[in-house]
């Protein structure tokens, strides 16, 4: 039986080394959004930045589903690779691509068609509604590229290749920044230009990775009728990938409700939350990278039948995550104001208020990162074992906690409650996913 690349050796070393290119890729992917925010904040009106910020939760709920579902396509491939079942691997690969195409068509049509309605439903301020629509409708039109890139990313990781996506993402990020400047400063396309730059850059990355997979991995070359559409295989891919997408999306539903409450707090709160969310995503990157590496590690070892090794991988990832969070807390407590100031033109009349609120948000997030050091590894491990449907319960708990904070606490205590809601949400997820993971691993 062929052994996968992560079925032997020190778990913590394998996970750490494998996560480094994923981390670089994640940081570069965050640069897409950060570059958009910084360039729009510096060269367009505050209303344009606020309009982009008002789309954050809606963007999160749709795009996060597409990213999660795309990544989930790699889970059965990872399990078959670890078990050494090449024929099954190829069948899952091609049927996974068919699932990706169906998802791309459905999600693009739905999100573009109902885009403006969803913005109105989340109480986007009329003064920034057009800015928000111009940005998010272009992002949604690029959903096929989002699903393609994340599906290829998940499959490359299943094969133990976390380096190529980071190289591709680096090149794509350079293009993204260049296109941002071209579309906004020279072609005067406004926020739609920032969105188009992101879509084109991610599209190029996805197409390149797909072609690379087919050309560089002989194991994917079909024999006989292995490319044939099989509903049973597509069903299994859907069972693993869609719950993984829903995990992200269900969590984001709470974020949409929270965004609605924030919109009612005024433009300063909206802008601060938009900027703070970008910094938060940047802080999350290492934990996400280690979690993604653990999902691959878990998938291969689960397929190989070594549950003791799976548990060792979970413990090692949690320890590494806690050590990282200690560093983040130090940065958040000492440099929050500096980080916030990078995104706002100091000459704006409300810049001081936006910076102060953003710095407060960053400090709270720094402390709550310790909860994520437990939540992310356990959740990714459950998904890596093919139980994305069970990890969905964790997302539902997070959604319930965020909605409760949004409806009953934020209207009373304002932006401080927005900051605290992050920690309450993470804790709710932990209380559900840890017992689930314990039962599965035993």
Q: Is residue 64 predicted with pLDDT exceeding 70? A: yes
Calpha distance 141→21 (Å, rounded)? 28
Alpha helices by DSSP H, 44-161:
46-54, 56-72, 74-83, 86-113, 115-121, 129-141, 143-158
Calpha distance 238→151 (Å, rounded)? 13
Per DSSP, the residues of 210-232 read HHHHHHH-GGGS--TTTTS--HH
Give pLDDT tens digits for 357-400: 999 999 999 999 999 999 999 999 998 887 877 888 998 999 99
- Six token digits for residue 96: 């996974």
pTM for the structure as a whole: 0.78
C-alpha dist (Å) from residue 425 to 9, 202, 268, 363: 35, 30, 23, 16
Q: Which residue in this structure is represented by tokens 């599209």?
A: 203
Tell me the mean pLDDT in the region 140-166: 88
Q: Is residue 317 predicted with pLDDT exceeding 90? A: yes
Tell me the mean pLDDT in the region 70-99: 88
Provide CB contacts within 8 A for 269, sequence distance 6+.
Answer: 262, 357, 414, 415, 418
- pLDDT at residue number 75: 86
Give pLDDT tens digits for 4-28: 468 888 999 999 988 988 888 777 7
Provide CB contacts within 8 A for 408, sequence distance 6+.
Answer: none
Which residue, 340, 346, 345, 33, is CA-closest to 180? Answer: 33
- pLDDT at residue number 32: 63
Q: Is residue 145 predicted with pLDDT exceeding 50? A: yes
Give the confidence band of 99 by pLDDT, cuts at 50, 70, 90: very high
More confidently predicted of 290 and 189: 290
Phi-psi region of 147 (alpha: psi -120 to 50; beta: other; left: phi over 0): alpha
Query: Could you give the angle at the alpha carbon of 289 between the alpha carbons of 322 and 388, nearest 5°?
Result: 100
């Amino acid at each position: 039986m062929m052994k996968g690349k992560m079925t032997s050796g020190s778990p913590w070393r394998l996970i750490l080394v494998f996560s480094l290119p994923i981390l670089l890729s994640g940081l570069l992917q965050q640069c897409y959004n950060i570059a958009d925010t910084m360039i729009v904040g510096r060269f367009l009106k505050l209303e344009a930045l606020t309009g982009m910020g008002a789309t954050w939760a809606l963007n999160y709920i749709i795009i996060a589903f597409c990213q999660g579902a795309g990544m989930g396509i790699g889970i059965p491939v990872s399990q078959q690779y670890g078990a050494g079942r090449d024929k099954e691997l190829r069948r899952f690969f091609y049927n996974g691509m068919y699932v990706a195409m169906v998802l791309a068509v459905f999600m693009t049509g739905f999100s573009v068609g109902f885009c403006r309605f969803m913005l109105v439903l989340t109480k986007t301020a009329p003064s920034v509604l057009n800015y928000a629509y111009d940005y998010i409708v272009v992002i949604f039109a690029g959903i096929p590229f989002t699903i393609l890139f994340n599906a290829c990313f998940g499959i490359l990781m299943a094969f133990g290749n976390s380096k190529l996506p980071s190289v591709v993402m680096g090149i794509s990020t350079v293009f993204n920044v260049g296109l941002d400047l071209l579309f906004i400063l020279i072609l005067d396309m406004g926020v739609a230009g920032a969105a188009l730059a992101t879509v084109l850059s991610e599209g190029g990355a996805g197409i390149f990775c797909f072609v690379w997979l087919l050309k560089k991995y002989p194991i994917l070359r079909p024999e006989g009728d292995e490319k044939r559409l099989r509903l049973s295989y597509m069903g299994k891919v859907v069972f693993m990938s869609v719950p993984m997408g829903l995990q992200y999306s269900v969590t984001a539903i709470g974020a949409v409700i929270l965004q609605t409450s924030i919109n009612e707090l005024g433009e300063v709160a909206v802008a601060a939350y938009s900027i703070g969310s970008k910094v938060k995503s940047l802080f999350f990157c290492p934990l996400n990278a280690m979690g993604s590496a653990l999902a691959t590690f878990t998938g291969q070892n689960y397929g190989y039948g070594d549950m003791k090794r799976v548990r060792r991988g979970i413990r090692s990832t949690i320890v590494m995550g806690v050590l990282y969070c200690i560093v983040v807390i130090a940065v958040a407590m000492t440099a929050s104001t500096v980080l916030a100031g990078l995104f706002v033109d100091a000459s704006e009349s409300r810049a001081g208020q936006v910076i102060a609120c953003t710095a407060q948000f960053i400090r709270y997030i720094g402390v709550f990162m310790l909860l994520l050091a437990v939540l992310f590894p356990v959740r990714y491990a459950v998904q890596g074992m093919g139980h994305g449907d069970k990890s969905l319960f964790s997302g539902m708990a997070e959604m319930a906690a965020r909605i409760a904070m949004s409806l009953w606490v934020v209207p009373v205590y304002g932006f401080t409650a927005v900051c605290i809601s992050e920690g309450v949400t993470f804790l709710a997820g932990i209380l559900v996913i840890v017992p689930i993971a314990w039962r599965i691993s035993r």
